[in-house]
Amino acid sequence: MATPRVALVTGASRGIGRGIALELARQGWHLGINYTSNEAAAKEALQLVKQAGGDGEIVQGDVANAAQRKHLVEFILQKFGRFDALVNNAGVAPNVRADLLDAGEESYDRVMEINLKGPYFLTQLAAKAMLELRKAGKQDRANIVFVTSVSAYTASVNRGEYCVAKAGLAMTVALFAARLANEGINVYEVRPGIIATDMTGPVKEKYDKLIDGGLTPIKRWGQPEDIGKAVAAVLRGDFPFSTGLVLDVDGGFHMRTL
């Protein structure tokens, strides 16, 4: 029987992260289900993962904290002995949607630390661990996925810090893809559109109207499993000759239509 592949999914207790974890579980992956504070949600996600055919462990850690990033990588290595994939999914919205001319530095720093700095340096640690495992002959190839957003290129003037962080994350994908291409590690960007999660709950009415009015050619909300299916496809190895690839999972939002 083949050794199960192992992935760390950050922010996997709820929303898009849970959707990703469940799709990987259906392919038999073993998962590090990362959460920051909601242990109950993480335990529930683990139970669902097991029901879907996978397995794993929950692991607490804030990607914005250097020591906790290190703990996440060490946890995966100690618990599973391999590290086939990192899925950088954890992210937050600004606490308050403030006009660009009024938004404060505290909100900017918080969003940047979690959404950009955290995955940047977590990927650095994970890539080094993956390379060591490959040199030791304990695993073959590895993959890294960044979950970004259409906000990487779409200006929302009442949440500028979020847009800037996601734009930076898109460049982070390109940087690591270029650096790791000859090291047996492919890097991918999955770019969600409007997805039904806790984060978008407060603006549901607004986006219901926009979707109804043709904002996206596919006239429905995206679901966490839509993102999960895209991540599962790249981690399954369906795109072996691609790196730095952007998968738009957005109902066609990225197209310009008349």
Looking at residue 152, which CATH number applies to its domain? 3.40.50.720
Q: What percent of the chain has pLDDT over 90?
A: 94
207 is catalytic: no
Q: Is a pLDDT exceeding 70 seen at residue 198?
A: yes
Q: Is a pLDDT exceeding 70 seen at residue 236?
A: yes
Number of domains in the chain: 1
Whether 256 is covered by a domain: the verdict is no
Whether 1 is covered by a domain: the verdict is no
Whether 37 is covered by a domain: the verdict is yes
Other CB atoms within 10 A of residue 60 CB: 17
Catalytic residue among 108, 162, 188, 207: 162
Question: Whole-number mean pLDDT of the chain?
Answer: 96
User: Could you report the per-residue pLDDT of 245-257, keeping only the tens digit for each?
Assistant: 999 999 999 998 8
Whether 257 is covered by a domain: the verdict is no
User: Could you report the per-residue pLDDT of 208-219, keeping only the tens digit for each?
Assistant: 999 999 999 999
Say if CB 196 and CB 223 are below 8 A apart: yes
What is the C-alpha separation between 24 and 174, in angstroms, rounded? 24
Whether 48 is covered by a domain: the verdict is yes
- Buried residues in 13-22 as b, exposed as e (16+ CB within 10 A): bbbbbbbbbb
Whether 258 is covered by a domain: the verdict is no
Q: Which domain holds residue 38?
A: 6-249
Judged by DSSP in three states, 204 sits in helix
pLDDT of residue 226: 98
Whether 27 is covered by a domain: the verdict is yes
